[in-house]
A and B are shown apart, each in its own frame.
Chain A
């Protein structure tokens, strides 16, 4: 690793970071920096290399090639020191079902070399923070998915980390549980904890991340704040049109159908995207575009105008939806 490669203000510094499993390349030479206090996100579909990147940052997966420092330290040499300052919320809950809710936190605190007294003091405080105080003596198994996830977050905070790594923190949670998790993460961010998370939910990235990178097929395809990415890659609004297929028409006809529709939408929008069930028309003013299309004789079965999102950015960059 070259000397002075790490900017002094980077908590995480990666250049050409690569992870290979045999002949398969999971992460292919990515560059990024995470600054203290920032909420940084990896957005991408399953298999894009997000988890592998997180595991390298967490020092539990050796770097195959490239440079990586965390807190200015080398994961290969200073793994234990890095981990002592990290909080990790893995994708799977990995809670200890043989221990109570409180004991899960106590033991984890002991793994970080806290005294029993200190571990208990922090555990009680953290259970309050994640709203699990009433369940502290209960076993872990009967907890709901949202509660387990909150407990894992509390567990990750037992060593008062300055950097919290979250791998898909709300995947599999119902909307209410997700919002509760988001709220707690937002509070942590306000306290100055640096968040580094992966997600395949656009709304999650938009809610939580100051800055993010879009990953696809092991590479970073775009980087910026959610707003910057939307401004750079898509229009302000999206017009979603749905059409009924003509009866008797073969069901392979997206191209024919598309070509016919493209002709009619020609000149109305910056870009048109065909999805199996609908057509996305990228435009600054969705209402006006819809009216213009109507004037040209188009009769969609449904019309929806919405603000564009990171989903559209992803579609633009890769030609595919984020969550298939």
Chain B
């Protein structure tokens, strides 16, 4: 009918190669879907932090503070708030890289439609990871606003807990997306969340330092990206910068995200190009 479309890379919009990147088309799709439900998302994104901060930080904190507060005498709310910010971003991202991604492979099969366009499997992976990260940004900003509102900020560096939370979210989302692409049903997700994500939430130093854990569990906490995200965000929020430790935390988070992307590139391709 008409002349064939020029290859994507040959077209340059105002943003150059970035705007023409096919992965951004996938993000665009997700944003279009989001346009319908963003109100309720923002509403719950704002109410959740208050629930957590008030119950844990203030309620539980009353008892903790009476007994000398968190380590180094920090008020418990200030201690727990950055950790909660990171864990809620991690939890949301983990969920979103499981069931909704499974749906795109299995239930609604929208990925199967997308691969008939110039988009490739990697574009779908990268685009949807960007989308999940975007939601983590949104949730973390809202959470941070709640922390500010409750006056639980000890240092201007606390604002850095937002990018740390987003990076932690990616460190979970990328490997879980890679895993999702290998599954035919959502059964394994129940196991993953019950025995993986939820225990991490409880035992990665969110509510108490991991040196309170039984000795054999401590290395386990060390090996999970959540512990590193929580430690990094908490340190920054309390105004303590420890260059070496912080770099290690950062490196672990980046390593998980990159490893997840590399694995996802393989599993997405395998799943979609049979």
Contacts and interface: CB of A to CB of B under 8 A. Distances in A.
Interface residues of B, number: 30
B115 A81 contact: no
Contacts of B1: 160-162, 191-193
Nearest to B5: A84
B274 A99 contact: no
B254 to A, nearest CB: 29
B149 interface: no
Interface in A83-103: 83-86, 88, 90, 92, 94-99, 103
Contact of A81 (B7, B32, B116): B7
A43 to B, nearest CB: 23
A113 interface: yes
Interface of A is mostly: loop
B220 interface: no
- Which 7 A-B residue pairings sit nearest by Cβ, starting from the closest? A111-B117, A88-B116, A94-B113, A80-B118, A94-B109, A160-B1, A98-B33
Interface of B: 1-2, 4-5, 7-8, 11, 20, 22, 25, 28-29, 32-33, 36, 108-110, 112-120, 272-274
Interface in A147-166: 155-156, 159-162
Contacts of A84: 4-5, 7-8, 117-118
A108 B117 contact: yes
A5 B67 CA distance: 83
Given A108-B117, A160-B1, 5 more contacts: A60-B116, A81-B4, A90-B116, A96-B108, A111-B117
A112 B115 contact: no
A19 B116 CA distance: 19
B33 A99 contact: yes
A110 interface: yes
Contacts of A85: 4-5
Given A94-B108, A191-B1, A113 B120 contact: no
Contacts of A60: 115-116, 272-274
A107 B32 contact: yes
Given A98-B33, A99-B32, A161-B1, A80 B109 contact: no
Contacts of A61: 273-274
Interface residues of A, number: 40
Contacts of B273: 60-62
Nearest to A89: B116
Contacts of B33: 96, 98-99
A112 B118 CA distance: 6
Nearest to B28: A110
B94 to A, nearest CB: 21
Given A62-B273, A81-B7, A85-B5, A111 B109 contact: no
Contacts of B113: 90, 94-96, 108, 155
A271 interface: no
Contacts of A81: 4, 7, 118
A177 to B, nearest CB: 20
B7 A80 contact: yes
A80 B5 contact: no
The listed residue with most A CB atoms (<10 A of its CB), out of B11, B32, B118, is B118
Given A94-B110, A192-B1, A55 B118 contact: no
A103 B28 CA distance: 12
A113 B25 CA distance: 8
A188 to B, nearest CB: 9
Nearest to A86: B116
Contacts of B112: 90, 92, 94
A193 B273 CA distance: 26
A107 B7 CA distance: 18
A54 to B, nearest CB: 11
B86 to A, nearest CB: 29
A55 B8 contact: no
Nearest to B107: A97
Nearest to A98: B33
A55 B274 CA distance: 9
A22 B28 CA distance: 37
